Amino acid sequence: MRHSFYEKTARQRLAGLLDPGSFTEFLPPAARALSPHLPLLDLPVAFNDGIIVGSGRLEHRTVLVAAQEGGFMGGALGEVHGAKLTGLLERAREEKPAGVLILADSGGVRLHEANAGLIAASEIIRAMLAVRAAGIPVVTLIGGACGCFGAMGIVARCGDVVIMSEEGRLGMSGPEVIETSAGVEEFDSRDRALVWRTVGGKHRYLLAEANVLVDDDIGAFRRAAVDALARPVSFDLAAVEAEHVRLERRLAKFGACADAPEIWRGMGIARPEELSLMDTAEFLAMANGAAP
């Protein structure tokens, strides 16, 4: 039976992802690590500041995990929220787990704590790169209702592996932000088909920004996470330079395209209009024959 990843809370996702009963939380709700900024604005806080961090086991291997709770302020990254994630990554360098899993569900930096949130994002990225440099894989799972945008979009792409469902969305500026700043002619955030074919999992997979595409099923995310930990970590200057060359080529080839199906056609996909309706297995069979 499938259990939707999209519909679950952060705590339910962790329970379904890890070996049963193996999760130990750091800074649980009873520790009351609360945002110092929200009360100044007369806004309520959350006992975990919108993120759960801890350690657990995945197929008997120890992992450190973080899960953002999209239900609290859109999973937005505040100062304490960010410090919990940075602390988890720093702990990984000492404890050397089999990997660090980040279950992202976030619209980006919490605007109520904008500067502190932006600093937190840069601290997360620095800690994340140090973990990778130590040979420990960092895997981001994206399949929640808030997607993974803004600073968290950058964080996700600084890791080793991104696992996504079609329903999960990954990007820099989210659809509403693009519409607000560039106009509805540029991007209609209420056009759901447009949103999903631009920032959804299938397009991100074709662009090689998501490394693994799975069904919206916690079991599928779990299997993909197990596989991801088995991949060798390749993080050196040559890998970064090769990625820059790939991105330059991609921009030269597809930079003028107005919509995703044009890119798909350019990749040699014969009937791009059918792509959005395919199920994951059908899509992967077709996509793995295309050239990004």
CB-wise, 30 or 291, nearer to other proteins?
30
By CB under 8 A, tell whether 21 contacts other proteins. Answer: no
* Polymer length in residues for the chain: 292
Q: Which of 46, 120, 128, 162 binds other proteins (CB under 8 A)?
A: 46
Which segments of the chain are extended strands (E)? 24-26, 51-58, 61-68, 100-104, 138-142, 161-165, 212-214
By CB under 8 A, tell whether 31 contacts other proteins. Answer: no
CB of 101 to other proteins, least distance (A): 21
Site string for other proteins, 61-80 (x = CB under 8 A): --------x-xx--------
CB-wise, 8 or 202, nearer to other proteins?
8
Choices 38-46, 107-115, 193-201, 241-249; region in contact with other proteins by CB under 8 A: 38-46
What is d(CA 29, CA 152) in angstroms, rounded to the nearest whole number? 23
Please say whether the beta carbons of 123 and 82 come within 8 A.
yes
By CB under 8 A, tell whether 47 contacts other proteins. Answer: yes
Please say whether the beta carbons of 9 and 52 come within 8 A.
no
By CB under 8 A, tell whether 43 contacts other proteins. Answer: yes
By CB under 8 A, tell whether 23 contacts other proteins. Answer: no
Identity at 181, one-letter amino acid code: S
Choices 41-49, 235-243, 252-260, 281-289; region in contact with other proteins by CB under 8 A: 41-49
CB-wise, 13 or 132, nearer to other proteins?
13
Give me the sign of the Cα torsion angle 57, 131, 150, 291.
negative
Q: Which of 1, 24, 30, 193 binds other proteins (CB under 8 A)?
A: 30
Please say whether the beta carbons of 248 and 270 come within 8 A.
no
Please say whether the beta carbons of 57 and 17 come within 8 A.
no
What is d(CA 23, CA 73) in angstroms, rounded to the nearest whole number? 25
By CB under 8 A, tell whether 36 contacts other proteins. Answer: no
Residues in the site for other proteins, rule: CB under 8 A? 9, 11, 29-30, 42-47, 69, 71-72
